[in-house]
Amino acid sequence: MSTRDLEQAFLNREPIDGVLYFHNDFVRVVAGPHGGTAGSLVTVLSLEPEPRFVLELESGFDVEVLQSEIAHADA
């Protein structure tokens, strides 16, 4: 899947193998340099070695996070 196809599938909220989240899911960062913050997922950047996302924090800043660093905010 090309990067463009991957990004479009994510925006369309289509299931992507290995990706546990969808566009606009509200998540909290549970590990890594942005731990303790929360925001909405904007896009998926890559799948390997694990999914990497752009997360728009509640503060309005965009950061990159790995799937292993986030959890659904209601979990």
* Per-residue model confidence (pLDDT) at position 21: 98
Cα distances (Å, whole numbers) of residue 16 to 6, 10, 20, 73: 8, 7, 8, 20
Closest CA to 57 of 32, 40, 74, 33: 40
pLDDT (0 to 100) of residue 1: 80
Say what the pLDDT of residue 24 is. Answer: 97
pLDDT for 37-67, tens place per residue? Answer: 999 999 999 999 999 999 999 999 999 999 9
In this prediction, residue 69 carries a pLDDT of 98
Mean pLDDT score of the chain, rounded to an integer? 96
Q: Give yes or no for residue 70 having a pLDDT over 70.
A: yes
**pTM here?**
0.92
Alpha carbons 59 and 18: distance in angstroms, whole number: 28
